[in-house]
Structures are given as structure tokens and as C-alpha cells.
Structure 1
Amino acid sequence: MKRRSLIKALAAGSVAMSPLAAMLARSAMAAETQRIRTLFIYHPNGCVPDVFFPRAGALAGASFPAMTAPLQQVAQHLVFLDGIGYEGNANTHEGGALKCLTGVATSSSGASSIEVQMGKEDWANRASSGVSRPSLQMGVGTKWGSDTSKRVSYDNGTSLHPVDDPRILYPQLFGGSGGGGDTAQIQVLARAREDLSRLTTQLGSLERERLEQHVAALDVLEQKLNAASMGGCLDVSTSIKPRVDSITGGEEQALWATSVLANISAIQQDIAVSTLSCGITRSIAFMYGVPVSPIVVPGTGTGDHDLSHQDAAAHTTSKVWWMGQIRQFIQKLANTPDVNGSLLDNTIICTVSDLGHGNYHNHHRIPMLLAGGKNAGLVTGRSVDLRPLGEPGKRWGDQVATQGGVNHTNVLMTIAEKAGYSSVRMPTANGRINNVWINGTGL
């Protein structure tokens, strides 16, 4: 089949090949189209702001405070935003989780989280956006508790459960399934090998290089998923069959045991990076834990929530682990080639949490930072204190902050617009955060 005919057949879905091969071919042949992606990363239980935010100014050569010290290695890619708050009643963990990507305080409002809104716009324009999935909700250790309010993603007021089992998520995204048993090998790529081999003879050199890049990344991913030596990551629960729609019960604890947490995190990150790189979706909400989660992260012996209600030193012992995971995420995106640079250059990362100060249960000075986004105009390598520009004496949750604060939905709306979306709406937004973007000034 000639190249032009192949493009038409792929667009029409009429080409006879495996779903994975067709998807990778579409991505490879659209390789020169720059698309801005978004990645919203939730980390649990707030922070201690005074040991989270670096001093305002350039980050080059600056000393990072204790909680964010692991991020110093990627300082050139970061923008810290101090002074961000969540409007609306309810200063609880669950209230903050609901607000952080929707901007509303009650699910009865029927609001949708930002990545869901972005995904709907992409899906409506999928002939040009090229996505095969509107948006993605995923994470690590997210199945604790049956309370649906422990979620950050919503579709018209209905909470969406993030998938935290890579054995389920990978086949869902890349086509096919595992072999049907607890010890079965995942062989999604193997089923597409013959089609992929034929494709290489029909693509140009740059397209072929892009296709080979995707295949190599997925090959490594499948090896990790199938490895028996992953520190117990995948064989820890060989006697059970976790289900994506099962969010209660003890069996899911196998996926957030301290001994496997780092390996699960690494694989989930790899899946997210490949999903964005292959153009399956442009927007991901990634949850690390859930509000009030009892997860015990490596290097500590106490649950994350309990540590957040102790002193700053205690909370720091767990927060540095989450920040280390975010650093690794940033590094993986930076090391993935993409149009006009790296995948990080074409991805705007935004971190959120359910609280500002974890021990005070407030919704002011949320531990928010942005990363990447170079090709969307984000100016990184600095820490910005927005409190002098914000409104003093404003109510955040059920507490009034004497310092100035800026509504977090202003940040979300700015991200949506810089990523090229026009239909996203945040009910409480009353401005934009322009001063961290090229040629931007003020709020």
C-alpha cells in the first residue's frame, strides 16, 4: 500500500492490522505535528509550606527547602507557585481532593475535572487530535477506601476511579489483554510484530525512526510487566485477580505495600509517558495515593496521613519520597524525544494536593508547581510568590488567610488555554496566571 493510501486507510480505520500497529502507525506519521499535552499529578496530605517552597527568585544555584530537595536536580524545568488557594467551603482532605481539578466544593454541582473537559474537546475533534482515548485517570495506591470522595477526577459530578494496576492498565491502553491468568504473560506487542514489520517498509525514514522509538519503549515496558524479578512488584498478588472496578477489600493492598511501591510507581510512570508519546491521549490525571491514605512510603515506618499531622520534620520524611517520584517523572519525559525537543517540552505538568498545610487542614498555600511546557511558553527555573499580588483576608475553605492568595482555578484555566483548549470552564476562576509565561505580565 502506498503511503498516501495508508494514511487514508489509517484515518478511516479500514486498514487490516492489529489495533496497536494501527495506533503506532498513526502516531509515527503525525510525528511532525506539535501537540501540547497536560499531566496533573496529585500528591497526598498537603505539605508544610515554609519547608516546601523555595525562596522567590531564580532556582539556579538556590538551596531547596527540605520537602522539595529531591526536585533540585530538575530545577531548570520547574516553576513553584506560592500563594495558591482553594475557594469554597470544606477544608477537609476530601473537600480539597474534589476542588483541586474541578474548582468546586460539592460534587452535586455536576462539574467535570479539567483533564476530563480537555479530553472531551479532543474526542470531539479526534479526526485532527488523533487521540484514541479522551483522557486517562491512573495512579499508584489509589484503591484504599470505598469513599468515592477520595478522588480528583469527575465527569459531570460522577467520580472516576484511577487505575493503579499496571497489569490491567497497559493492555487496556495498548490493545488486547494478558493471557487470562494471574501468572499469564502480557504479550500485546508480540501480537502486533508482523504488522509492525510490514509497516516499516511503507514509512519514510523519520516516520520509521519514530515507530521504532515507540516499539522499543513498549518492549521495555512489557519486559518489566512480565519480569519475575521486579522486587515482588507483580507477583506479590499472584493468588488474586485485582479488578479495575473493585475499590474495596484487602486484595488491593498488595499494590501499595511499601516493598513494591517504587516499582509500581516506575511502571505506571512508564505507561503514562508512552501513552502521551504515542498520542493515545493528551491529558492525564495521575494520583499518588488518596486523601487520608495510610500508605507507608519507603524510608518511613508510619502512614503518610499520620506523618502529615506531626511536626515538619516528620511530614518531610514522607513528602520527600513523593517529590522524588515527581522528579523521576520529569526526567523520563525530558529523556523522551518529541517534536521540537522532548516530550517534557511539549507537556505542561501541574501538581496539586488536597490540603495546603497538612497539619492545619487549610486550603491556602497549596503545594503547587508547574514543570515542562517550554513549547507552550512556560518560563521555568524559578519560584514565584503570588501572595503580594493576591487578595488578603480571603476565605479559603473555612479559614481566612491574612496573606494574599490566588485562586487555583486561574492556574488551571491558564494551562488549558496555553495547551490550546477553548471549551474548558472553571466556575470559580476570576483571572489568569500570565506572569509565568513568555511575554506574560500580572495575573
Structure 2
Amino acid sequence: MKFLNRFGFTSARESTSRSRRKFLRNLAQAGMLLPLAGPLLGQKVFAATGSAQRVLFLYYPNGVVPYNWVPQQGPGSISGSQELSFGLGPLSSWHNRLIVLQNMTLDIGAGAGAHYNDMRGILTGNNAIGYESASIDHLIAEQLGNEGVLSLGVRTGNRSDIMISKPRNVDSAARPIPNNDPADAAQKLSVGISGGGAGGGTGGSDPDRQAYYEAILNDFDSLADATLENAQRDKLTLHENALKRLRDLAGNQVGECSFNTNVMRDPHYASSTPLSPSEWQMFPHLARAQVDNIVGAFSCGLNRVATLQLSKGDENGNLVNYSYDECWQMAQTAISQGIQHSSDSGTVGPITRWYNEFASHSASHRPGDVPHTAQVRWYHSLLAYTLQQLENKGLLDDTLVVMFSEVGDGSKHGGAAGAVTLAGGAGGALQMGRIINCGDGINNGQRIYGTHQLFGDVARYLGVGALPEAHWSGGVV
């Protein structure tokens, strides 16, 4: 290399030094901007946080079909990217970003016996929670800042007593109904980033700031290639993602800080009239639109805690019919793999007629049935979509997604043998890519870990200290 240098070639060391000098020069130019990182994003961008910066609680109804959901691998590290089970199949490419929690006790409170009683206790730890208490999402949000919880839903119905999220000083039977209209939610969030709404805003475009950030970002690749080991490069990637978000915040509602208000509206979320087949087809599009709204709010720093309630636990067929095409195709895949409906379904004619008639409420009471299995796979495909959207925005590494249902072992309404999935990361502090067995899998059987402990862990990984309710204890992950 010394000989080549005499003729004008650059050594690796000189290239490294030049990359560092250029990087530091651009960093210095933007130095006046860096202190704004925390207020804009609600996080410490340029230091290793060791904790998650945001959390999404993602609820789906009816539990799972255990023997079509439980991972084929045993507890421990996930060994590869093959499908863990039929229900978890859509998450195969995200295996290193998952913690699958099987046989977890769902702490929903004493006396729960119907779906709506179960579901209203899942985030409170008690279905008879008092007026002054709050669900875990609100308890976390209270300690993170003043943004509150972004509460969205898809066809949840209009009964306040069956909503899973409960603010403080609200009667348990009068819980607020989440916003079920993606277009309306997007419009409200857009107000939040235009300078006049809750959560603040960018106050207009600043081309100079954008240029500074672009200059720094242009140096990241060469700096990483020239100087960093794998662990350091991973840390730099976190900073690079944060810079991308700052760059877009410096614009005028561009990039991550924009919301698509041109999405479908759903007038049927509280309807008592049976929906038409074309209206069934809206459900997956509405669900993805609400995910997009949540990811957008996270990207813009409007909220750090969100709850998405997908339908409700008594599975009213007037709100959701799982005969929409995406779920139907998953049912056909299940059949092709030898998964069949249970023998107690009776003789109902061809599979098409059977599926349409039993795709809704009945599925939750026939845990071996193809429709229920297909529902579970579809909901986990929505989780995969959520992870992809978070990764696209540079948010996945420091976001936690907690996916759960309200019933345990599929056929009974008890809380044992629940299925919960953690996804994302926690600023590098949480080891992902694991399967944890939390109990013996028998209804009302031996308890090892429950959602009281898990949600206490989630709060801790969000940097939240002691919670007012002692039952959020931690100790699972």
C-alpha cells in the first residue's frame, strides 16, 4: 500500500480517516440541530438506549387453535426461518425478531366466563377494574410523556364495556370506543403534525435541516464499511434510522410524517345488519390502514404507546365474516396440508357453504375447524405486515409489538394456555428469536408465567419504573 500511495492511491487507513473527518465535519455543521432530536422523537437518538422507545398492543379475538399454532420447535432459540407452525407461518421471515410465548396464563380476573368479560380484563389484569385504575397501555403512557395512548380499532362494535383499553378515572362500563375509521384517524393525526394539534409538529419545511441530515446520512455507509465491527455497525444503524426520521420531520409532512387520508371509511363497525360479501372484503384493508396510522404516528413522534383492537371477543358475524378472500385462501392452504374441520361440525354440504356459514362465531367454539385455523394465520400475517412497515420506517429495532388474544386453550373461555407473541426489539436490550413455554398447557393447570408478569416486563423495557398496581411484576423475558 505504501508503494501505491506514492502514485496517488489511497490506503484503507487513509480512507477510514477521511471518512471519519468528513462525517465529523458534517456532524459539526448539524450540531445546532442535534439537541432537537430528543424533543422531536421523544427519545435519546444518539446514545444507546437499552430500552424500547414505543409499544403497540395488538389484540385479536378468539384465541388460537393450539395444535395448529404451538411451535413445532421446543422452548429455546428459534433454530431457523422455516414456519414454526401453520398459525405462525406468516412470521417465518421474522423468526429472529420474535419471542413466542406458549401456554401463558391470561390474567383476566376472577369470574370471567363470557368473551366480553374476558377481553375487558386482558390489559387491566382484572375484568372488574375500578374507576381510578387504568389498563397497562395507559399506565405506561402516563410515565412516558403527555401524548397518551393512540387507541384504534377495526369493527369493535359500540359497547363500551367490552373495550380492552381503559384510561384512568373512567368507569369500566364506559370505556372509550377506539376510532374505527382509518380515514378519520389519519385526518386527526395529520392535524397533529401540521403545527396545531396534539403531539406538536414540525412547523413547516426547513430545507437547511434536511440538507444537513442528508449530508450526514451520505457518510454512514462508507463510515460503517471502513471502520466498524458488526456490533458497532448495528448500533450505527439505529442512529442512521433515527436520522432518517429527523430528516423527514424537517420536511413539510413528507416521508414518514404523512398520513394517507384517502382510505376507505367503514360505516359498518357498529352495524346490527348483516354485511354483504363485498363488505366482508373490507376487513383486511381496514386493519392494514389502521396499522399504517399507528406506524405513522410512531414515526412522527406523536405517540409512543398505541393499542389496536381488532373486532371483539364474542365474534359477532355482523361485524366480521372471515370469508374474505385472504382468509379463504389460507383456509384452502390449511386443507391442502391436511388440516380439516372437526367431526362435530355436522353435515352442512360442500366446503364452500360450510366455510361461509361457520366462518364467524362458530369457529371459536370448534378449535379444530379450518376457519378458526385460517383466522389465526391471517391475524399473524397482519403482524408480519406490521413488522414490515416498522422496518420500512426505521422503527423496528426499538419498538415492541405485543400480540395477544383474550381466551386460552381455544375451546374454553378460561385463561390458561394462552398464545402471546412479542415482536420487534428493545434498543438491543431484549434477546429475540426465542420460544418460551409459560405453563403446562392445561386449562386451569399449573401456572408458571402470566400476562401480569409479561406486561410488567413490557413496561420495564419501555423504561417505566414502579407501576401503581403491584400485580404487574415482571420476570418472563
**TM-score of the pair, normalised by structure 2:** 0.67
- Which of 401, 406, 409 matches 1:349? 401
What residue number does 2:474 align with?
432
With over 3 angstroms needed to count, the CA separation of the structure-2 counterparts of 1:104 and 1:259, relative to structure 1, is same
With over 3 angstroms needed to count, the CA separation of the structure-2 counterparts of 1:426 and 1:334, relative to structure 1, is farther
AA in 2 matched with 1:324: S
AA in 2 matched with 1:117: L
With over 3 angstroms needed to count, the CA separation of the structure-2 counterparts of 1:334 and 1:5, relative to structure 1, is closer
Give the unaligned 5+ runs of structure 1. Answer: 11-22, 127-132, 179-187, 227-232, 338-342, 394-399, 437-443
Question: Secondary structure of the residue that 1:195 maps to in structure 2?
Answer: coil
Question: Secondary structure of the residue that 2:63 maps to in structure 1?
Answer: coil
Does 2:294 match 1:279?
A: no
- Which of 379, 393, 398 matches 1:322? 379
What residue number does 2:321 align with?
296
Does 2:183 match 1:167?
A: yes
Shift of 1:426: 3.8
- Matches of 2:256 and 2:369, distance apart in 1: 40
Question: Secondary structure of the residue that 1:371 maps to in structure 2?
Answer: strand
Question: Secondary structure of the residue that 1:414 maps to in structure 2?
Answer: helix
- Matches of 1:63 and 1:7, distance apart in 2: 43
Does 2:77 match 1:58?
A: yes
1:399-418 mapped onto 2 (5 Å cutoff): 401-418=444-461
AA in 1 matched with 2:302: I
Does 2:54 match 1:37?
A: yes
What residue number does 1:336 align with?
393
Question: Secondary structure of the residue that 2:400 maps to in structure 1?
Answer: strand
- Matches of 1:354 and 1:325, distance apart in 2: 18
What residue number does 1:99 align with?
121
Give the unaligned 5+ runs of structure 2. Answer: 1-28, 217-241, 329-355
Does structure 2 retain, via aligned residues, the 8 Å contact 1:83–1:405? no
With over 3 angstroms needed to count, the CA separation of the structure-2 counterparts of 1:313 and 1:424, relative to structure 1, is same
With over 3 angstroms needed to count, the CA separation of the structure-2 counterparts of 1:30 and 1:257, relative to structure 1, is farther
What residue number does 1:67 align with?
87
With over 3 angstroms needed to count, the CA separation of the structure-2 counterparts of 1:377 and 1:68, relative to structure 1, is same
Does 2:148 match 1:139?
A: no
- Matches of 2:210 and 2:426, distance apart in 1: 34
After superposition, the CA RMSD in angstroms is 3.8
Shift of 1:250: 5.4
Does 2:205 match 1:196?
A: yes
What residue number does 1:366 align with?
418
With over 3 angstroms needed to count, the CA separation of the structure-2 counterparts of 1:251 and 1:40, relative to structure 1, is same
Shift of 1:78: 0.6
What residue number does 1:155 align with?
167
With over 3 angstroms needed to count, the CA separation of the structure-2 counterparts of 1:425 and 1:95, relative to structure 1, is farther
What residue number does 2:143 align with?
121
AA in 2 matched with 1:136: L
What residue number does 1:217 align with?
255
- Matches of 1:114 and 1:287, distance apart in 2: 14
Superposed CA offset, 1:67-91 (max 9, x none)? 2222222111111112311342213
% identical equivalent positions: 20
With over 3 angstroms needed to count, the CA separation of the structure-2 counterparts of 1:304 and 1:74, relative to structure 1, is farther
Does structure 2 retain, via aligned residues, the 8 Å contact 1:48–1:312? yes
- Matches of 1:375 and 1:25, distance apart in 2: 18
- Matches of 1:346 and 1:174, distance apart in 2: 23
- Matches of 1:335 and 1:320, distance apart in 2: 23
Does structure 2 retain, via aligned residues, the 8 Å contact 1:304–1:318? no
With over 3 angstroms needed to count, the CA separation of the structure-2 counterparts of 1:32 and 1:319, relative to structure 1, is same
State which structure, 1 or 2, has the greater radius of gyration over its C-alpha atoms. 2
Shift of 1:199: 6.3
Does 2:423 match 1:377?
A: no
Shift of 1:92: 2.3
- Matches of 2:364 and 2:140, distance apart in 1: 32
**TM-score of the pair, normalised by structure 1:** 0.72
- Matches of 2:205 and 2:85, distance apart in 1: 48
Question: Secondary structure of the residue that 2:100 maps to in structure 1?
Answer: strand
With over 3 angstroms needed to count, the CA separation of the structure-2 counterparts of 1:119 and 1:66, relative to structure 1, is same
- Matches of 2:133 and 2:188, distance apart in 1: 26
With over 3 angstroms needed to count, the CA separation of the structure-2 counterparts of 1:199 and 1:27, relative to structure 1, is farther
Does 2:64 match 1:47?
A: yes
What residue number does 2:280 align with?
258
AA in 1 matched with 2:388: Q
